[in-house]
Amino acid sequence: MTSAKAGVNVKLRSFSRSLPMSLLLAREAVMTRFRPALKLFNITEQQWRVLRALSSVKEIEVMELAKATSLLAPSLSRILRDMEERGLVERRQVPDDLRRSLISISEDGVKLIDAVAPYSESIYQEITETVGRDKMDLLQQLCRDVVTSLSQLPATDYTGVELDADILRIVGDSTRGRPRLED
């Protein structure tokens, strides 16, 4: 549990030392290299994530796929619908539970993966040569370590925290959706 206290004046770390921003900037630097290849094959980053995840399993439940690809279930539902229409994935109902479905990559999806693979691996090679193999290996290990370590922490819960009235006026009602200003 974090020890944050409402009303305590704390100086934020420098923006350049913000972990979420550092990770986002690194992701953008990497994806800038991959986007032209994805565009060439008319697939989105999210569709590519789904194809890559599906290429490593025979089939997978939708919720497991959402977790594996870090996509929210409603977004994944739309992405899968589009991919089904394009013939890249196949869906089948679980016989004993029609609420659940299993997703697998189709033959055309495999062909697309095979077509993109040389471009993807070339980009990985370029990134590895530029950054250095040891740094890339270390980065992969550090990313795994961060995910593993943080997943062991209890969820952050600020239920019951009462914000200062002036701050509450600024942020609005946070019970759901976007912050809204009073009329």
Extract the tokens encoding 163: 């914000």
The answer as to whether 58 is a domain residue is yes
- Please give the residue range of the domain that contains residue 54: 15-149
Q: Residue 176: pLDDT band by 50, 70, 90 thresholds?
A: low
Whole-angstrom distance, CA of residue 57 vs CA of residue 90 = 13
DSSP letter at 152 equals T
DSSP letter at 88 equals S
Closest CA to 27 of 5, 49, 8, 42: 49
Q: What is the mean pLDDT of residues 35-46?
A: 98
Domain of 125: which CATH number? Answer: 1.10.10.10
Closest CA to 46 of 88, 6, 10, 11: 88
**Whether the predicted pLDDT of 1 surpasses 50:** no
The answer as to whether 25 is a domain residue is yes
**Whether the predicted pLDDT of 182 surpasses 60:** no
Q: What is the mean pLDDT of residues 140-151?
A: 97
The answer as to whether 168 is a domain residue is no
The answer as to whether 1 is a domain residue is no
The answer as to whether 158 is a domain residue is no
**For the whole model, what pTM was predicted?**
0.82
Closest CA to 58 of 89, 36, 84, 34: 89
pLDDT at 97: 81
The answer as to whether 181 is a domain residue is no
The answer as to whether 3 is a domain residue is no
**Helix, strand or coil, per DSSP, at residue 98:** strand
Extract the tokens encoding 53: 């995840």
Three state DSSP letters for 9-63: CCCCCCHHHCHHHHHHHHHHHHHHHHHHHHHHCCCCHHHHHHHHHHCCCCCEEHH
Q: How many domains does the chain have?
A: 1
The answer as to whether 47 is a domain residue is yes
